[in-house]
Structure 1
Amino acid sequence: MPESLRSEEATSGAERLTFFSDAVIAIAITLLALELPVPEELTGDSGEQMTEMITFFSAHADEYLAFLISFLVIAIHWSTHFRVFRQVRDVNARLIQLNLLWLLLIVITPFTTKIISLGENNPLRFAVYAGAQALQFTVFALLVLQLIKHKLMLTSHDPAQLRSTLRRVVPMAAAFAVSIPVYALAGRWAFVLWALVPIVTGRIDDLHLRRIRRGR
């Protein structure tokens, strides 16, 4: 087979994997929204209906908060996947397997979100959600290592970007894993860990990339 045809097939395979991943993520976000509680038919005048609405939303505040957290987490996963896969030249069987496992963990996010929103201060439910997220970031790190090992990126890509991705996703995997015992000891302070780690690691990584670029 001519080299040009092999190159076109490789690019087509990478694009199909990316399109499929985008579609699955879109479905997961839709399912996430469908799980949100909806107020039943309201009664009384407008003032009473407003009171009923406020009471309903207050009663389900944990579920709406869990939805927002999961939406942001999925958005982080998607943006990381997008930044990496727009530079992917070729795919192999192991990369496809890892990507499918990563997508499986995306798909079950609505389920784990429902679990974490039920009840208060339940370490087991929290561990299910945080453990799934820690595993997902770990799988993506393995996926990036696969890209590096088998040189599946476009020749025009900047190798520093893949190393940058690893510096971001590995701490996130660790943050979700560490948050499990933190939640058991300090309750909702564990959510602060989720928020701080991407900010801190992002800032450190940006400074690191700037130093590299200045040194060139």
Structure 2
Amino acid sequence: MSEYQSRRTEEGFRRLIAFSDAVVAIALTLLVLPLADIPDEIADETSVGTVLSDHLSDIVSFAVSFIVIWVLWRNHHRMMENFRAYDKVLFELHFVWLLTIVILPFVTAMMDNRHVDRANAAYIGVLAVSIMSLVAMTAWGRRHRELLIAGEDTEDWLAHRSGVGTLLLLMVALIIAIVVPDADVWPLLLLLLSGPLENLLRRFR
């Protein structure tokens, strides 16, 4: 491999993070587009309360997906605060993570269409892959300490963050969504147990 191909500069690392942030921002913006079309569909005089009531499922779906993408970005941001450099594997893992971020508005729109069977399973599946890529980045940093910032804060992050518990709960939620298609996104409430489960797994480690 040539020196140019193997070069990993600090500027390249900053561009990787900036590009990731931009993709997340665009994905968050795309989520609101279906809601922006609602006023154009109103033919008769009505109230704001009626509009909100008639499109409650769309609004809830938007809110859930917005929060989900925000949480994914927040976890990514906190994770990358402990990295000082990148390599080919970390670069490619970002590709996978960003792909899931871009797809999330699409699967969200599918969930809004009641004629799409098991759209909730597709949504949870994409979310699971997204979490899996973040878990893989963390594991890769743990194995390649030269990519990390040396210090107590990084060691504390490695000791308390794995994401495996969250991933396991998502897999359970995915199974429920496949077996019970009418469950909608309610299986995602299992993620409320991610904190206690992560603490339990940390004790075993």
TM bracket, shorter-chain basis: 0.7 to 0.9
- The yes-or-no answer on 1:137 pairing with 2:131 is yes
Q: Give the Cα separation in 2 of the matches to 1:170 and 1:207.
A: 11
Counterparts in 2 of 1:126 and 1:162: CA distance versus 1, 3 Å: same
Counterparts in 2 of 1:26 and 1:129: CA distance versus 1, 3 Å: same
CA contact (8 A) 1:10 1:89 kept: no
Q: Give the Cα separation in 1 of the matches to 2:66 and 2:120.
A: 17
Q: Which amino acid aligns with 1:40?
A: D
| Structure of greater Rg | 1
Unaligned runs of 5+ in 1: 1-8, 212-216
Match of 1:92 in 2: 87
Match of 2:3 in 1: none
CA contact (8 A) 2:97 2:133 kept: yes
Q: Which amino acid aligns with 2:123?
A: Y
Matches within 5 A, 1:23-102: 23-36=22-35, 37-40=37-40, 48-50=45-47, 53-102=48-97
**RMSD (Å) for aligned C-alpha atoms:** 2.7
- The yes-or-no answer on 1:158 pairing with 2:151 is no
Q: Give the Cα separation in 2 of the matches to 1:33 and 1:41.
A: 15
Q: Give the Cα separation in 2 of the matches to 1:117 and 1:170.
A: 29
Match of 2:194 in 1: 201
Deviation at residue 163 of structure 1 after TM alignment: 4.0
| Matching residue within 70, 74, 99 for 1:104 | 99
Q: Give the Cα separation in 2 of the matches to 1:179 and 1:130.
A: 7
CA contact (8 A) 1:89 1:154 kept: yes
Q: Which amino acid aligns with 1:105?
A: T
Q: Give the Cα separation in 2 of the matches to 1:180 and 1:205.
A: 19
Counterparts in 2 of 1:41 and 1:143: CA distance versus 1, 3 Å: closer
Secondary structure, counterpart of 2:161 in structure 1: helix
CA contact (8 A) 2:173 2:190 kept: no
CA contact (8 A) 1:180 1:190 kept: no
Q: Give the Cα separation in 1 of the matches to 2:171 and 2:180.
A: 14
| Matching residue within 141, 166, 174 for 2:168 | 174
CA contact (8 A) 1:63 1:118 kept: no
Count of aligned positions:
192
Deviation at residue 203 of structure 1 after TM alignment: 4.8
Q: Which amino acid aligns with 1:143?
A: M
Unaligned runs of 5+ in 2: 1-7
Q: Give the Cα separation in 2 of the matches to 1:206 and 1:178.
A: 18
Q: Give the Cα separation in 2 of the matches to 1:35 and 1:41.
A: 11
Q: What TM-score, normalized by structure 2, do the two folds share?
A: 0.80
Match of 2:13 in 1: 14
